Amino acid sequence: MVLWGIWQGCGKPQMNMFLRPLVEDLSQLFQRGIEVNIQQTEIRTRAMMIVATMDLQARAYVLQMTQHNGEHGCLYCLEPGKVVKSGKGNCRSYPYRDVDPEPRTKENIKSDAQEAIASGKRVHGINSESVLSCLPYFDVTTNVVIDYMHGILLGILKKLMSLWFDSKNSKEPFYIGKRVDEVDSIIKTIQPPYFLRRLPRKINGNYNHWKASEFRSWLLYFSLPALQNILPDIYLTHYSLLVEGTFILLGEGISEADLRRADLLLRTFVRNLNLLYRDSIVGLNAHNLIHLTRCVRMWGPLWAWSCFVFESFNGEIKKCIHGTGNACRQIFWSLQCQKKVEAMAVQCKEDQLRDFYQCMTEGSNARQKGGEDAYQCVVFTPAKIQKTFNFSNIVKEELVRLCGTYDTNNFMIVKKISRNGFLMFSKQCSRVVKRNSYTIKMVDNTIVEVEHFLIHKSSRKVVAVCQKFQPLGPLIRNRLQHLQTFQLQSVENTVVRAELLQEPVVVVKTDSKICCGVIPNNVERD
Ligand SMILES: [Zn+2]
């Protein structure tokens, strides 16, 4: 990531002034480009800023528009919205319309801006021209996108949770604050897989402090199983539209049919929001959902341009500041050092020294050490099987079928493997007390709990001794294929080949069943 600038001063910068040098640099990179010598050939490379992502507040400043609660706050259409009561004050609501409002275009934004400058009055929510419009190729209505981290997770989802759990709504049919302890008791039992870094925290008195990634896990995996039979069905079904729509748009390969389905789900969600709750909840974040699929159609999945990476980089930047001196100088000094060490690591030819450099920049936990190649996977620290170890008859039969023998001398025991871009643990792994990375989805959608892995010494084939789950169908009928329910099939272990294991799943256990959720993509991590 390249840090272009930091604002250090009282209040916010005048955005057109602050961003002008950036726009000038970007214009140069587009019009003149830079010469690069590749294999003795001079190649002129040009660069474009194709996507800009920010929260609603920043967007209003950067694009010289009214704030999100002002009239005509939407960047993509000319819906004015209406003022409605909200608590003791007022706010702006964007009612759903069956025919989409007239879209904004590059041209009508330009003419509104010119009219606003001439008259000194805001026109269709536009105050002035944004410096970004000086980029010849840049169209704010297509190149500025909707950030799901702020809009959905910290916006709509947090708002819904306040409606469900805050006691000021205790007279409402959707209020479930009295049962928050039941929800928390389910959350308490959740052991997320290793790739969800944060352990879930309870809702009661806490959710206002949740990080965006905690809201993401709650939205995609925990909330529906935890709220089933607690939130009234009509509200749960309505909420599941948001869950499924977001899940689809977070995918890795999104088809045209997926896009159409996501659009339908999100529109149905928005259309019913004010009917089920109240007008004030349909603010700009909710309204933006009707434009979200268009952004994904143009620029790919939500994770590819969300604010998550930038927010986490903000965290890195904050770590650079020590004491009260010149903060900007400290940040640039520290980031320059990091870049220098990264470059030294790439150029370094000595293994030990390179490892040392990499540890400095990535941390020692960043890489998995000590893996050994096996058939279609990597195994970690295989160990001798103890003499007292005994296989059940079924396991023996399966081992003979898959490896030709069940003699323990021919196998080593393995606690952890890596395959298909994932780590997979066995239940025997002592480091997984608060984690469950041993419930694994197989390529045929079967779910298994891995007791331990065995590697056959001569063929290097790896098998998992495991228990199979009995499928009970999707959590919500005919919907949400990523959340399936199961019960344990039997206590008898069986054996499966490791190359059939696909990925760990997120498990939520309730009284009656086990809900297993798959992740939408293997790119975005906490
Ligand atoms: Zn709109």
216 Cα–ligand 1 center, Å? 24
Residue 364 has pLDDT above 60, yes or no: no
Which residue, 96, 120, 136, is CA-closest to 269?
96
Dist. CA 280–CA 244, nearest whole Å = 23
Chain CA centroid to CA 113, Å: 35
Which residue, 53, 59, 89, 84, is CA-closest to 71?
84
C-alpha distances in Å from residue 432, one per residue of 189, 424, 425, 463: 14, 11, 8, 20
Burial class of residue 377 (count of CB atoms within 10 Å of its CB; 0-12, 13-18, 19+): buried
111 Cα–ligand 1 center, Å? 18
- Mean pLDDT score, 232-241: 96
169 Cα–ligand 1 center, Å? 29
Residues 168-193: tens digit of each pLDDT: 999 999 999 999 999 999 999 999 99
- Mean pLDDT score, 198-213: 92
Which residue, 455, 462, 465, 447, is CA-closest to 517?
447
Beta bridge partners of 439: 449
70 Cα–ligand 1 center, Å? 13
Q: What single-letter DSSP state applies at residue 160?
A: H
Dist. CA 145–CA 98, nearest whole Å = 23
77 Cα–ligand 1 center, Å? 4
314 Cα–ligand 1 center, Å? 29
300 Cα–ligand 1 center, Å? 20
212 Cα–ligand 1 center, Å? 24
Give the helix/strand (H/E) hosting 110.
helix 106-119
313 Cα–ligand 1 center, Å? 30
273 Cα–ligand 1 center, Å? 16
Dist. CA 251–CA 255, nearest whole Å = 10
Residue 358 is predicted with a pLDDT of 75
253 Cα–ligand 1 center, Å? 26
Residue 408 has pLDDT above 80, yes or no: yes
Chain CA centroid to CA 252, Å: 12
22 Cα–ligand 1 center, Å? 28
Residue 369 is predicted with a pLDDT of 66
Residue 247 is predicted with a pLDDT of 97
291 Cα–ligand 1 center, Å? 7
Residue 435 is predicted with a pLDDT of 87
Length of the chain counted residue by residue: 526
- Mean pLDDT score, 192-216: 92
14 Cα–ligand 1 center, Å? 26
Put residue 212 in one of left, alpha, beta given phi > 0 → left and psi -120 to 50 → alpha: alpha
Exposure string of 200-213, with b = 16+ CB inside 10 Å and e = fewer, is: bbebeeebeebebb
76 Cα–ligand 1 center, Å? 5
Written as six digits, the tokens of 145 are 């996108």
Residue 366 is predicted with a pLDDT of 47
256-276 helix and 233-249 helix, angle to the nearest 10 degrees:
150
283 Cα–ligand 1 center, Å? 11
Residues 451-485: tens digit of each pLDDT: 999 999 999 999 999 999 988 999 988 888 899 99
**Residue 515: phi, psi to the nearest 5?**
-105, 125
Residues 78-117: tens digit of each pLDDT: 999 999 998 889 999 998 999 999 999 999 999 999 999 9
Residues 445-459: tens digit of each pLDDT: 999 999 999 999 999
Dist. CA 108–CA 280, nearest whole Å = 29
Residue 489 is predicted with a pLDDT of 66
271 Cα–ligand 1 center, Å? 14
Which residue, 111, 67, 71, 60, is CA-closest to 93?
71
Dist. CA 56–CA 307, nearest whole Å = 12
7 Cα–ligand 1 center, Å? 30
Residue 126 is predicted with a pLDDT of 95
Residue 404 has pLDDT above 70, yes or no: yes
75 Cα–ligand 1 center, Å? 6
Q: What single-letter DSSP state applies at residue 180?
A: H
Task: Decide: 159 and 172 in contact? Cβ < 8 Å.
Answer: no
